[in-house]
Amino acid sequence: MKKAIITGITGQDGSYLAEILLKKNYEVHGIKRRTSLINTKRIDHIYQEPDLTNRNFFLHYGELTDFGSILSIIQNVQPDEIYNLGAQSHVAVSFDEPEYTSDVNALGTLRILEAIKSLKLIDKVKFYQASSSELFGGSIEIPQNENTKFYPKSPYAISKLFAYWMTINYRESYGLFASNGILFNHESPRRGETFVTSKIIKGLLNFKKNNKILYLGNLSAKRDWGHAREYMNAAWNILQHDTPEDFCIGSEKQYSVKQFVELVAKKIGININWKGNGLEEIAIDSHNNTVVAVNERYLRPSEVDNLIADTSKAKKLLKWDYDFNIEDLIEEMIDYELQK
């Protein structure tokens, strides 16, 4: 039975990956931060009591900012695979907390890699680093692939760029099986409520119920949105490849924030029309009520305008393809909120 460690186990991606690995008969070890609040709702359905015999799912307290805890967990588990999904993953927050973001995302990755080397597990462990399409940031090349020049435009993206290159450095310097999955935006019913797709769905449902305006930032930003579950299947495939390599993972389809709003509004029965431009742009319903408005506080200091994946390499080498429709993704997210 293979053993895998997942950092960020309580997050959207970690919960889906844990499900995938458990179905593949892995022994899964998740690392979670110790907090005063219970934050395991995404994995409660797969949680196993500590006194259960023959269990294959374990939780460990650890911090990516604490080398000692990372070293201890890896030493005790002796994993075959490590998936580093843990991060301060909110781009907007990274402008307010650049030092913390860098400590977790950049140095956190380095701590895992150095723990693997220090424990002499280079020849045993395969390492997956969750990279991000935000690395491309202001790139003028459309679409983006593994050879596209990086142009990070946020502390989050810069911290992820450090982690990306450090992963490659340990691969080339020490022979570690270490790969980057450059994942474009991926969503699901488990997406955190401060991320724009979840915010739009919750906000429009709230408008329908309470007539409360939804405030957003850059409506023109274009993104390649896919389902997190499918992308976690790709992450597993990356570590099963014969050689360690880096792959772009996305849907190869693109929608603006405004288009995403329109798709959600149509699904839940709100007819909207747009008026104005820039900061004055609003969406109004058939009764002339303002449904969506732009608020300057949600604009980033440096905007990323245009991201879309070219996944030719993943299709060819991993035999991975994405065929999940964005409307099905939106419907799944809406249904989840309505059931709540």
> Which domains can be identified in the chain, with CATH numbers?
3-189+225-252+306-324 (3.40.50.720)
* Paired strand residues for 309: 144
Number of neighbouring beta carbons within 10 Å of residue 154:
23
The DSSP-derived string for 52-119 is: -TT--EEEEE--TT-HHHHHHHHHHH--SEEEE--S---HHHHHH-HHHHHIIIIIHHHHHHHHHHHT
8 Å CB contact between 195 and 90: yes
Residue 299 Ramachandran class (φ > 0 left, ψ -120 to 50 alpha, else beta):
beta
Determine the pLDDT at residue 53. 74
- Give pLDDT, residue 36: 60
In sequence order, which residues have a C-beta less than 8 Å from that of residue 325 and are 6 or more positions away?
none
Q: pLDDT tens track of the chain, all 340 residues?
A: 999 999 999 999 999 999 999 999 999 999 998 876 677 889 989 878 777 778 899 999 999 999 999 999 999 999 999 999 999 999 999 999 999 999 999 999 999 999 999 999 999 999 999 999 999 999 999 999 999 999 999 999 999 999 999 999 999 999 999 999 999 999 999 999 999 999 999 999 999 999 999 999 999 999 999 999 999 999 999 999 999 999 999 999 999 999 999 999 999 999 999 999 999 999 999 999 999 999 999 999 999 999 999 999 999 999 999 989 999 999 999 999 999 8
Full-model pTM:
0.95
Within 10 A of 122 (CB to CB), how many other CB atoms are there?
A: 17
Q: Torsions phi, psi of 105, nearest 5?
A: -75, -45
Pairing of strands 282-284, 273-275: antiparallel
Which pLDDT belongs to residue 57? 94
Please give the pLDDT value at position 54: 82
Q: Is 234 exposed, middle or buried (0-12, 13-18, 19+ CB in 10 A)?
A: buried
Give me the residue label for tokens 């030092």. Answer: 99
Q: How many CB atoms lie within 10 A of CB 316?
A: 9
Longest dimension (CA), the chain: 67
pLDDT of residue 46: 87
State the Cα–Cα distance between residues 88 and 102, nearest whole angstrom.
Answer: 8
First-to-last alpha carbon distance for the chain, in angstroms, is: 36
Q: Which residue has the tokens 């023959």?
A: 54
Nearest 5°: CA angle at 107, between 145 and 96? 85
Contacts of 172 by beta carbon, 8 Å cutoff, 6+ apart: none
Q: What are phi and psi of 144, to 5 degrees?
A: -105, 140
